Amino acid sequence: MQSAPQNLLKEYVQSQKFTSTAEIMQAMKEMFRDVIQTVMEVEMDEELGRERCQRSELPENEPRNYRNGYTRKTVKTQLGEVEIKVPRDRQGNYEPKIIGKYDRNADGMEEKILSLYACGMSQRDIAEQIKELYDVEISPELVTKISEKIMPEVTAWQNRPLEKVYPFVFMDAIHYKVKEDHRYITKAAYVVLGITQDGRKDILGVWIGENESSKFWVNVLNELKSRGVMDIYLFCTDGLCGMMQAIEAVFPGSRLQRCIVHQIRASTRYVSYKDIKQVVADLKKIYTAVTLEEAEQNLLDFAERWRKQYPSCVKSWEENWEVLSTFFEYPLEIRKIIYTTNIIEGLNRQFRQITKNKPSFTNDDSLRRMLYLASQRIIKHWHARCQNWDLVLSQLELMFPSRAAG
């Protein structure tokens, strides 16, 4: 872009006789307006195929198009608000290229608003930040309208193609208050996080609002399949209802590992305070055993000691043992990855941190937008691979020789 000739600038400055920086800023706003206005006039001439007041030679059967006045519009810039006149044509074909039809932001202010929104800032805080940056007043409604414009982007992200093979997929739910039928109800956002074959984390999608059931999870897994996922070695979850049946229906070759940490919390909920330390110590002998046989013996010892006093605790471990003991089939490096859902819980903690200033959401899409923006912000910081991934991958290739290549 060429700069303005010095002689023209000098003549302009001499003619204005500036006495303050405020006068210079005001002049710059007016120059910005005049340049934008001229660009749009040139665009309109190109649209019509002729300059103002000039007749064009068109075939008789081709309808003529004419200028049709102006529409006033205010754009927000780093210089403040600038009012322009957008040319109109009679047929309504002309749309400014320099400033889009629905774009009232000439310098990326919308991106800044979305960035602040993705940080979890309230609408009031965003308005204050924009006031400081641009000296422009914005309403909470404007923040909402700007966030709504990214819904096609959210939908595209949720439906994007995925990799063919994921060694590990973690699933968990995080709960929010969402308005539905004029009242706020608690809804779950089900987050699916995958570990790729090069050992990196990726958020595969977020599903909102439905009740947990095998039918619901079948739909989620079928979506993953329709987006290109052909195989998942291991699912790691927090006892999600209907998950086992869904995996068997959609990915019958996959295994399920229930989170040990969640199992401990759930099974010891009603254990007396005076016994909790010893109960947890005895449970630790089960899941830290070296072999499956040792773990099963320790489970028998645990049941013998505590069944009479805490039957529900013992029953919970016995009934869920099939999905609690899966990790014993794998080497230590893989066990460390799959025996708990800490990976996805860490993600959900970041979601909660970002959304803590949003006690409720007006609808499902409002929550989707927030979690999408938060996801993009979080993913930017995911660079490292899982610990000892080269060793993990070599073990997976040995254990799944026909599947590891994808």
- Split at pLDDT 50, 70, 90, the class of 18 is confident
Rounded mean pLDDT of the chain?
Answer: 82
Q: What does the pLDDT look like over 367-387, one tens digit per residue?
A: 898 899 889 889 988 988 888
Structural domain count, the chain: 3
Q: Is residue 224 over pLDDT 80?
A: yes
Is residue 210, in this structure, part of any structural domain at all?
Answer: yes
Q: How far apart are CA 233 and CA 323, in angstroms?
A: 14
Q: Is 205 found in the same domain as 75?
A: no
Q: Is 133 found in the same domain as 70?
A: no
Q: 245-250: which pairs have CB atoms within 8 A and are 24 or more residues apart?
A: 245/214, 245/217, 245/218, 246/214, 246/217, 246/218, 246/220, 246/221, 247/217, 247/221, 249/214, 249/218, 249/221, 250/218, 250/221, 250/222, 250/225
Q: Is 228 found in the same domain as 317?
A: yes
Q: What pLDDT score does 134 carry? A: 62
Q: Is 143 found in the same domain as 96?
A: no
Mean pLDDT, to the nearest integer, of 307-336? 93
Q: Is 267 found in the same domain as 195?
A: yes
User: What's the token pair of residue 145?
Assistant: 């309208």
pTM of the predicted structure, to 2 decimals: 0.69
Is residue 404, in this structure, part of any structural domain at all?
Answer: no
Q: What pLDDT score does 323 carry? A: 92
Is residue 406, in this structure, part of any structural domain at all?
Answer: no
Q: Is 113 found in the same domain as 24?
A: no
Is residue 405, in this structure, part of any structural domain at all?
Answer: no
Q: What does the pLDDT look like over 272-292, one tens digit per residue?
A: 999 999 999 999 999 999 999
Q: Is 173 found in the same domain as 144?
A: no
Domain extent for 139: 108-149
Q: Is 197 found in the same domain as 332?
A: yes
Q: What does the pLDDT look like over 391-405, one tens digit per residue?
A: 998 998 888 777 654
Is residue 84, in this structure, part of any structural domain at all?
Answer: yes
